[in-house]
């Protein structure tokens, strides 16, 4: 089904949450990641909940770079993408069992997905900006002006993209599971007994959500891409055409995403201060679109995912309070 493509896009963009316990909404279910393991729970059409659990060691720990800012953030996102893709494929096969597509189909779908994302969030904003500022010599040659204009266009496109897709039934269900995942993460972090009734008392909006990360990343790109473009133009003494600008920005995306991770981590650690709560507010408000109030059955699936991920170790953490320090 074509809607699965959009579900995967949204999962990669916005449906991730926090760690020590980290989560992600998947098709008709939730994936939870805890220290050393991750697990997923999915409800099939008959109502049965399927689970599976895997060992996990973050790349940052494997290469002993967890204390290196920016690099650890990029590696953390690589982990999230790798696990997220695997669990999405697993959940899709549970919800709608089908013959495995051949390698050519998988490659073509992956290429289309990458090209669609680049075109939507880079190509379109850059084309509009380039033509819009063409008649204004000062603005068109100023890299900050170009990137701030393109950056705001990117944010507008992102908001429209979410608003349009959120009206689809399947996407609404995905966002409900996203909300269920947040509630259960909050329940765990509170140290209170984890159950459906308790989890439903918590908010669907979480300060360390992937939605907040994407919004922060879009703001960070305005400033980082402006500096990168200005430095490149000054050193190379050439004008950046649209194609070269996209290639340059894609090459710098690991650094930019790492910076975005550090910004989100810092803001999340300062939520006791009003000033930093205000800075995090846009990302939280955006979650009014990407999370919905879940039904009890959806919260149940999220709890099953958490219990499966921890296994018998859950008793070691119960009764303690935790504050997640990054996105997962």
pLDDT in tens, 239-286: 788 889 999 999 999 999 999 888 888 887 787 888 888 888 898 899
The pLDDT value recorded for residue 10 is 59
Q: What is the mean pLDDT of residues 1-18?
A: 54
The tokens describing 229, both together, are 């473009």
Torsions phi, psi for 63 (to 5 deg): -100, 10
Count Cα neighbours of 5 within 13 Å in the Cβ-side half-sphere. Answer: 13
% of the chain surpassing 90 pLDDT? 46
Mean local confidence (pLDDT), 17-24: 67
Q: What is the pLDDT of the chain when averaged over all its residues?
A: 86
Beta bridge partners of 34: 37
**What is the per-residue pLDDT for 148?**
93
- What φ, ψ does residue 35 adopt, rounded to 5°? -55, 115
pLDDT at 327: 38
Which pLDDT belongs to residue 18?
47
Domain enclosing residue 33, as ranges: 3-327
**pLDDT tens digit sequence for 22-40:** 789 999 999 999 889 999 9
Q: How confident is the model at residue 9 (pLDDT cuts 50, 70, 90)?
A: low
Given a contact cutoff of 8 angstroms between Cβ atoms, the answer to whether 248 and 232 are in contact is yes
The residue among 153 and 80 whose pLDDT is bigger is: 153
Rounded average pLDDT over 53-67: 91
215 within 8 A of 283, measured Cβ to Cβ: yes
d(CA 202, CA 40): 21
Domain count across the chain: 1
Please compute the mean of the pLDDT values over residues 190-199 and round it to a whole number: 94
Please give the Cα distance from 258 to 21 (Å, whole number). Answer: 20
Mean pLDDT value of segment 91-99: 83
Rounded Cα distance, 304 and 41, in Å: 6
Measured distance CA(34)–CA(144) in Å, rounded: 40
Return the higher-pLDDT residue of 288 and 318. 288
Collect all residues with Cβ–Cβ distance below 8 Å to 262 and sequence separation of at least 6: 69, 70, 73
């Amino acid at each position: 089904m074509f809607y699965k493509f959009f579900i995967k896009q949204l999962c990669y963009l916005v449906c991730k949450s926090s760690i020590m316990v980290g989560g992600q909404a998947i098709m008709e279910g939730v994936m939870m990641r805890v220290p050393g393991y991750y697990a997923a729970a999915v409800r099939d059409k008959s109502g049965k909940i399927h689970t599976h659990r895997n060992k996990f060691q973050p790349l940052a720990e494997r290469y002993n770079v967890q204390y290196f800012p920016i690099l650890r953030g990029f590696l953390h996102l690589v982990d999230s993408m790798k696990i997220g893709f695997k669990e999405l494929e697993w959940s899709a096969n549970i919800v709608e069992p089908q013959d495995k597509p051949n390698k050519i189909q998988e490659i073509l779908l992956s290429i289309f997905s990458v090209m669609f994302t680049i075109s939507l969030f880079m190509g379109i904003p850059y084309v509009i900006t380039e033509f819009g500022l063409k008649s204004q010599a000062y603005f068109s040659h100023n890299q900050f002006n170009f990137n701030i204009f393109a950056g705001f266009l990117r944010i507008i496109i992102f908001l429209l993209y979410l608003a349009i897709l959120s009206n689809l039934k399947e996407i609404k269900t995905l966002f409900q599971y996203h909300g269920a995942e947040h509630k259960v993460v909050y329940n765990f972090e509170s140290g209170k007994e984890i159950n459906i009734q308790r989890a439903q008392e918590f908010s669907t909006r979480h300060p360390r959500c992937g939605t907040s990360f994407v919004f922060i990343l879009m703001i960070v790109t305005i400033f980082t891409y402006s500096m990168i473009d200005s430095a490149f133009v000054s050193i190379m003494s050439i004008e950046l055409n649209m194609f070269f600008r996209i290639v340059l920005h894609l090459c710098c995306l690991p650094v930019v995403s790492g910076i975005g991770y550090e910004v989100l981590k810092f803001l999340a650690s300062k939520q006791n201060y009003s000033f930093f709560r205000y800075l995090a507010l846009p990302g939280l408000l955006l979650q009014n679109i990407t999370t919905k109030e879940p039904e009890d059955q959806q919260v149940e699936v999220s709890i099953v995912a958490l219990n499966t991920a921890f296994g018998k170790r859950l008793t070691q953490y119960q009764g303690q309070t935790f504050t997640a320090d990054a996105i997962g």
